[in-house]
């Protein structure tokens, strides 16, 4: 699960929130992380942070990306040209092919899509199509097998993709959920037409070229994104709070998807993630800042 959180708070309000968290937790740690809040002994602090009367309610949001679903979606989009079959394949695949078969499909699809795949880049296409042919025979008559047959007939798209990657690696790797999460964050906080600058924690993936492309693409599509400014997370309380929220959201939703989870925390998190299945920086105007948190 990948979680990317953002908050829209004045800097002084965010700083006071961090001070209050430190006061309530009373840990000697120099830097606080989500795992501090997730400890049972600090449960009351976590409930306070997420509560309707808490400091971030109505001023924070989380984009969630389920990594296995992202692999399925990107594979279907590459080969079929749209994502309509991604949801059904993700939903029915494990039941049709069994967990080992489904994991084999995800591994083969991941290698197909990665810029630098494990193993020989020249054989990943063959391996992927051998895998889906095997699974199609294993689950005849199922909706999942029908979708795989459609994928099997679209090999030309896979060959063309690997050739493009070999000739010129893409600026945005298709399996990195960070970049679309930043774009969705910008769209959310600028929805009222007010331009925003996102304040984001420093990450090697956010190169000047990628930031420029994100901003240009967003503006082209009508998103009022003025820019993305990178900061040391320790120097901006808004980013620290976004980091808390991202880590907490990742743990809560991962537990939920594993058929577990805490019903109270699931309910408390719901206002921050909006509608829909878990899929996937912070705006500036005394406002948004963001942070991503990734895990398996």
22-60 residue pLDDT tens: 999 887 666 778 888 889 999 999 999 999 999 999 999
Cα distance between residue 27 and residue 296, in whole Å = 27
Does the structure show a pLDDT above 70 at 283? no
pLDDT tier at 276 (50, 70, 90 boundaries)? very low
Whole-model pTM: value is 0.86
Contact of 173 with 115, CB cutoff 8 Å: yes
Average pLDDT over every residue of 90-95: 95
Strands 196-201 and 60-65: unpaired
Place of tokens 């199509």: 129
Does the structure show a pLDDT above 80 at 121? no
End-to-end CA distance of the chain: 6
| Rg over CA atoms, the chain | 21
> pLDDT, tens digit, for every residue of 123-157?
999 999 999 999 999 889 999 999 999 999 999 99
Select from 149, 146, 202, 153 the least CA-distant residue to 178: 202
Does the structure show a pLDDT above 70 at 279? no
> pLDDT, tens digit, for every residue of 186-221?
999 999 889 999 999 999 999 999 999 999 999 999
Q: Quote the pLDDT of residue 285.
A: 44
pLDDT tier at 282 (50, 70, 90 boundaries)? very low
Q: Which two tokens stand for residue 204?
A: 């090697």
* Burial of 224: CB neighbours in 10 Å, binned 0-12, 13-18, 19+: middle
Phi and psi of 106, rounded to 5°? -65, -40
pLDDT tier at 280 (50, 70, 90 boundaries)? very low
The CA-atom distances, in angstroms, between 2 and each of 57, 76, 178, 215, 257 are 21, 20, 8, 22, 13
User: Which residues are CB-contacts of 207 (< 8 A; sequence separation ≥ 6)?
Assistant: none
Does the structure show a pLDDT above 90 at 224? yes
Q: Quote the pLDDT of residue 98.
A: 96
């Amino acid at each position: 699960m990948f979680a990317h959180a953002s908050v829209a708070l004045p800097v002084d309000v965010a700083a006071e929130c961090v001070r209050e968290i430190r006061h309530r937790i009373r840990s000697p740690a120099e830097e606080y992380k989500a795992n501090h809040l997730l400890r049972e002994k600090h449960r009351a602090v976590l409930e306070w942070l997420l509560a309707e009367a808490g400091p971030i309610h109505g001023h924070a949001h989380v984009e969630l990306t389920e990594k296995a679903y992202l692999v399925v979606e990107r594979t279907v989009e590459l080969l079929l040209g749209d994502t309509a079959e991604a949801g059904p394949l993700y939903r029915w695949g494990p039941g049709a092919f069994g967990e080992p078969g489904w994991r084999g499909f995800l591994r083969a699809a991941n290698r197909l899509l990665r810029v630098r795949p494990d193993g020989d880049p020249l054989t990943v296409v063959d391996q992927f199509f051998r895998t889906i042919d095997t699974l199609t025979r294993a689950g005849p008559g199922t909706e999942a097998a029908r979708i795989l047959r459609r994928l099997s007939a679209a090999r030309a798209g896979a060959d063309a993709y690997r050739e493009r990657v070999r000739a010129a690696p893409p600026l945005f790797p298709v399996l990195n959920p960070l970049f679309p999460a930043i774009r969705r964050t910008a769209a959310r906080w600028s929805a009222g037409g007010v331009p925003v600058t996102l304040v984001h924690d420093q990450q090697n993936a956010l190169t000047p070229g990628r930031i420029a492309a994100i901003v240009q693409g967003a503006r082209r599509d009508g998103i009022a994104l003025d820019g993305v400014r990178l900061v040391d997370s320790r120097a901006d309380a808004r980013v620290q709070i976004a980091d808390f929220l991202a880590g907490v959201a990742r743990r809560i939703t991962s537990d939920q998807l594993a058929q577990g989870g805490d019903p109270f925390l699931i309910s408390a998190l719901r206002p921050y993630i909006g509608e829909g299945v878990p899929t996937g920086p912070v705006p500036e105007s005394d406002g948004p800042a963001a942070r991503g948190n990734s895990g398996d």
